[in-house]
A and B are shown apart, each in its own frame.
Chain A
């Protein structure tokens, strides 16, 4: 199975990198850019045969290590490779 994990900054947490990218887009002339938030994308290959089996494990991985619950949210999808 393949878990695609997205770690993003929580709402309300200032994102200085996102702001820098936003300003850069604006200076390129994209004047409709309202906001940019940067996050992390991870792919974790897993030796499970069913998505349902691996879901609680991936959740645990996110809680324990992959995301910092103080500043980050996470979501993921699990598919066949």
Chain B
């Protein structure tokens, strides 16, 4: 499978993503500079974490207008797989490829810590290796992860099974106390209606190797690779 990792000025998880797909999962991978106006042929694009354009104005707001985003939109409408992690998720929201917006964390603090996620849907190319109810431990590292969306769209997300991950406690219970940032309904990750685009605030690329002490992130990449194989 061939992955493209989009690099914005200020991306800082791009090398982690590249390393995981290339060296841990032995897949083809290339960096794609945001100024490119043509996309080579890829099976999956990753929009990595970081602070594109310094998060100026709003996280992801300026990255939205990078030349490559036009191609990313085309890739999305052709059904290509897109994974947005943290700032990549924020860019997908600003680009309207996913619904909603990110607000400042409720605590007004940058939060960097491991926490638990409950897998809510296993019928997507990003989560097919898991089962609904699985608990995953992953790190978050963000200032703006307080997911907000209007009530009508929230209802649609629930009805169309687009909420893929929720923050939960160590027992797997989705509680207010387990919500790190104030996100509506503890939402940590969603997909679009067509299920080929996923955004998530936690960082699976930071927990996909035994040497890092946590391999729960592998589920995401293994699912994508499985899905990619099926597509072919």
Contact = CB atoms under 8 A, between A and B. Distances in A.
Interface of A: 13-14, 16-17, 20, 65-66, 68, 70-71
A14 B65 CA distance: 27
Contacts of B146: 16
Interface string B123-153: 0000000000000000000000010111000
Contacts of A17: 104, 108
B61 interface: yes
A14 B57 contact: no
A14 B147 CA distance: 11
A68 B182 contact: no
Majority DSSP secondary structure for residues of B touching A: loop
B149 A70 contact: yes
A16 B106 contact: yes
Interface of B: 57-58, 61-62, 64-65, 93-94, 99-101, 103-108, 146, 148-150, 182
Contacts of A66: 57
Given A13-B103, A16-B103, A70 B108 contact: no
B182 A16 contact: yes
A66 B57 CA distance: 7
A24 to B, nearest CB: 12
A66 to B, nearest CB: 7
Contact of B58 (A13, A20, A68): A68
A13 B148 contact: yes
B105 A65 contact: no
Contacts of A71: 101, 103, 148
B103 A65 contact: no
Contacts of B99: 70
Contacts of A20: 108
A14 B183 CA distance: 11
Contact of A68 (B65, B94, B107, B108): B94
B102 to A, nearest CB: 9
B67 to A, nearest CB: 15
Contacts of A16: 103-108, 146, 182
B146 to A, nearest CB: 7
B106 A65 contact: no
Given A14-B103, A20-B108, 15 more contacts: A13-B148, A14-B106, A14-B148, A14-B182, A16-B106, A16-B182, A17-B104, A65-B61, A65-B62, A65-B65, A66-B57, A68-B61, A68-B94, A70-B93, A70-B101
A4 to B, nearest CB: 17
28 contacts: A13-B103, A13-B148, A14-B103, A14-B106, A14-B148, A14-B182, A16-B103, A16-B104, A16-B105, A16-B106, A16-B182, A17-B104, A17-B108, A20-B108, A65-B57, A65-B62, A65-B65, A66-B57, A68-B58, A68-B61, A68-B94, A68-B101, A70-B99, A70-B100, A70-B149, A71-B101, A71-B103, A71-B148
A39 B149 CA distance: 19
